Structure 1
Amino acid sequence: MTARQAPDLKTVLIASGLVLTLAMGVRHGFGFWLQPISQAHGWTRETYSMAQALQNLLWGAFGPFAGIAVDKFGTSRIVIFGAIMYAAGLLWMALINDPLLFVIGSGVLLGAALACTAFGAVSGIIGRTAPADKRSWAFGISSAASSFGQFVMMPVEQQLISHSGWQTAFYLLAALLLLVILPMAWKLREPDITHHHGPHQSIREAIHEAFSHRSFLLLVAGYFVCGFQVVFIGVHMPAYLKDKGIMDPNVAVSALALIGLFNIFGSYYAGKLGGLLPKRYLLSSIYISRSVVIGLFLLAPLSSYSVYVFAAAMGVLWLSTVPLTNGVIAGIFGLKYLSMLSGFVFFSHQVGSFLGVWLGGYIYTRMGNYDFVWGITLALGIFAALINLPINENPITRKPALAA
């Protein structure tokens, strides 16, 4: 029997990039369905917001388990499972009209799907394949791929809804996901996962080690803010602009696409700079810059021009936290349980996402505007900037019995 060779870095980046392009690209466009689904079923915005909030929360909750599965069984199998769950979740959203079933079913199916196809699922194989001096750059490439997906898929999804109807749009996207992700997952087949460097460290020991480490906890807290900010903006921006009198839906589509376009550069250069400068300072700069950009957007007179400037500026900062965060985790704890530990940090991100998207719908329903949520978003950015500063990026010193 011939031993299966590990894929090279170029293959890993192309295959994982296409997976992320579709998985994250489709997910970023879910805000376009908020109004048509709510109107078709006679729901308030809170119902659809709750479905999106639960999806984001369960994406995070399933993340550590998907990471454990990836570290144990390999990336390919988990990504294939995720693609199937993704298609099932889109079909569920198209066919179910009971609000409780819609919220629970789409939350579970799409939460599990994203845990198995997004950053946490592919971070391990990227980290294991890239040399140490290129690891942050490689994470930046994968983050840029997801941003490219947002840029490409935003207008595609909006056009599908406009010309085919919101239900048919779900059917077409489900087919596209399976046609692209399944063959790419096959390219991510690794040799059997083995670890030859040093004595064995158990999953339990790795979890205890991470959650006893102050810098890991600070990273977890900062990533909560990232999730709150980006998902609130991504889901509620189209409705917010319409409420403010910008009725042309193409403005919202263009704005979200611009976020994706500019984050291609933001993610790439964040990863590149992460190999040259302390990642904690870069993370802190990103969070404080977000608060400045949001504050200026709220203070400036609203127009299509101000929306595009805001989208471009936020785009540079949008997912640029991802390569830096994964880079910090790999640098402190090593690669053995990278997917699992990234999953735990990402769970915090998704708790923030849950609150961001749900509070947006909840507060809008009761107050008739998004002003209070914007204020929370501003304050959280300042908080995250401060708590990232004391992170210690040095590799952890382990006792010989736990060396990895």
Structure 2
Amino acid sequence: MSTASSSDVSPPPSSAPSSTIARPNIPLILICGCVIAMMSFGPRSTMGMFLLPMTEANGWSREAFALALAIQNLAWGAAQPFVGMIADRYGTARMLTIGGFLYAAGLLLMAFAESTFMLNVSAGILIGIGIAASSFALVIAAFGRVVSPAQRSLAFGIGTASGSMGQFVFAFLAPLLIDGLGWQMALVSMAGLMMTIGLFAMALKGKAAASSTTAVAEQNLRQALAEAFNTRGYILLTFGFFVCGFHVAFITVHLPPYIADIGLDPFWGGAAIATIGLFNIFGSLASGYIGGRYPKPIFLSLIYLSRAAVIAIFLFAPPSPLTVMLFAGAMGLLWLSTVPPTSGLVAVMFGPRYMATLFGFVFFSHQLGSFLGIWLGGKLYDETGSYDAIWWLGIALGLFAALVHWPIREEPVARLATAPAE
């Protein structure tokens, strides 16, 4: 049965009530989508807090634990385009529900993993696929289908900020669970929460509809992918998002142990992750607002340039709780502020029809960067006893990303350029 947007339906006769045309409940969709983004982003942002207790309990090296989380990010990225395709074709709610169950299964198996192989399967593959199928990437694609083009950037910022709220909440919740229940039952408890994602996903029922605008040529998925990968701006965007993944994943996993390594109380590791999540709420909302009013490519270049500067200042500053909190706050403002303009550029270039799929491929690049940031951080630490090299690599990549985004053109592809405004 084909799906049509509301614009495909002829106006009803004057005698028919206007309520016969089904309209999406946008406030409900936004609220439930934000709850899902918050829940799915929470546990994965706390994985660094399990590094020390799990490695000590099982006799694993930091590299072994880091490899499992690197696999998680790689599985997340590799699965994202495919879960996007499924969501575009069969509906977002189904995919989110499946993702919640996979996420929960991964957390449960991780709690009782007795070998690095099982750690890689649970914390790596299962949780990675579960996050891909339940995270903000699908949520913001659903938002993009129900809000107007003028509202998309802000809606994407709201969805991203919700993920940040999850990071903030779970940064406090996870240590309480670990201290009160032990690290194993903490993982079991979070698995129970992930099982409820399907309840909120019911509000996001629906899938992308083909455009009704006659001026826009219809596309199938293969044509949409060919168009995207032949667009220079899309390729540059994909390269740039790799750097975002490198920064975010490395800091999420390795900042807590790094803070302990420089002689500070481990409390400040959890506090730093919480602070990043808190400030990222404001950074994501501000990014959604700015991206809707100013050129997104230039804005992205400034974000990455600022990241490089903040990391450099942190390395040169004397280690103290104050410098850690200032670093966390500054990075929080820049943390996922890349997501609204990045996803917004995908929507501007190609429209919302295959957004979950096309943003999925951009996000795969992000997760390749995440894999490298996590794994290389653990490997270089085990080999050198220091994180210095990886910090400096992060600075260099920030400068690279600033250069890559600058020449991107914020305009629709030729197929959409002559179409009437939505």
With the shorter chain as reference, the TM-score category is over 0.9
Cα separation, partners in 2 of 1:33 and 1:223, compared to 1, 3 Å = same
Bigger mean CA offset, 19-28 vs 350-359: 19-28
Three-state SS of the structure 1 residue aligned to 2:105 is helix
2:144 partner amino acid: G
| Distance in 2, Cα, partners of 1:43 & 1:341 | 38
1:277 partner amino acid: Y
Cα separation, partners in 2 of 1:154 and 1:90, compared to 1, 3 Å = same
2:371 partner amino acid: F
Report whether the alignment pairs 1:190 with 2:209: no
Report whether the alignment pairs 1:301 with 2:313: no
Superposition pairs for residues 3-402 of structure 1, below 5 Å?
5-179=22-196, 181-190=197-206, 193-198=209-214, 199-246=217-264, 248-398=265-415
User: Is the CA contact (8 Å cut-off) linking 1:25 and 1:146 kept in structure 2?
Assistant: yes
Three-state SS of the structure 1 residue aligned to 2:204 is coil
| Distance in 1, Cα, partners of 2:136 & 2:234 | 18
1:41 partner amino acid: N
| Distance in 1, Cα, partners of 2:72 & 2:158 | 26
| Distance in 1, Cα, partners of 2:111 & 2:350 | 42
| Distance in 1, Cα, partners of 2:99 & 2:351 | 26
User: Is the CA contact (8 Å cut-off) linking 1:6 and 1:191 kept in structure 2?
Assistant: no
User: Is the CA contact (8 Å cut-off) linking 1:7 and 1:190 kept in structure 2?
Assistant: no
1:293 partner amino acid: V
1:236 partner amino acid: H
CA apart distance, 1:187 = 1.1
Three-state SS of the structure 2 residue aligned to 1:277 is coil
CA apart distance, 1:5 = 3.8
The alignment of Structure 1 onto Structure 2 pairs a total of residues equal to 400
Cα separation, partners in 2 of 1:162 and 1:335, compared to 1, 3 Å = same
1:381 partner amino acid: G
User: Is the CA contact (8 Å cut-off) linking 1:284 and 1:388 kept in structure 2?
Assistant: yes
CA apart distance, 1:194 = 4.7
CA apart distance, 1:191 = 6.6
CA apart distance, 1:6 = 4.8
| Cα root mean square deviation, aligned | 1.8
Cα separation, partners in 2 of 1:339 and 1:168, compared to 1, 3 Å = same
Cα separation, partners in 2 of 1:4 and 1:145, compared to 1, 3 Å = farther
Cα separation, partners in 2 of 1:128 and 1:302, compared to 1, 3 Å = same
CA apart distance, 1:25 = 1.3
What's the TM-score once normalised by structure 2's chain length?
0.92
| Distance in 2, Cα, partners of 1:399 & 1:191 | 21
1:74 partner amino acid: G
Deviations 1:325-361 (A, max 9, x none): 0000000111110000000000000000000000010
| Distance in 2, Cα, partners of 1:4 & 1:354 | 46
User: Is the CA contact (8 Å cut-off) linking 1:72 and 1:193 kept in structure 2?
Assistant: no
| Distance in 1, Cα, partners of 2:138 & 2:356 | 6
Q: Which structure would you say has the larger Rg? A: 2
User: Is the CA contact (8 Å cut-off) linking 2:67 and 2:120 kept in structure 1?
Assistant: yes
Structure 1 unaligned segments of length 5 or more: list them: none
What's the TM-score once normalised by structure 1's chain length?
0.96
User: Is the CA contact (8 Å cut-off) linking 1:238 and 1:252 kept in structure 2?
Assistant: yes
CA apart distance, 1:104 = 2.8
Cα separation, partners in 2 of 1:182 and 1:293, compared to 1, 3 Å = same
User: Is the CA contact (8 Å cut-off) linking 1:64 and 1:339 kept in structure 2?
Assistant: yes
Deviations 1:287-314 (A, max 9, x none): 0000000000000001001000000000
| Distance in 1, Cα, partners of 2:313 & 2:130 | 36
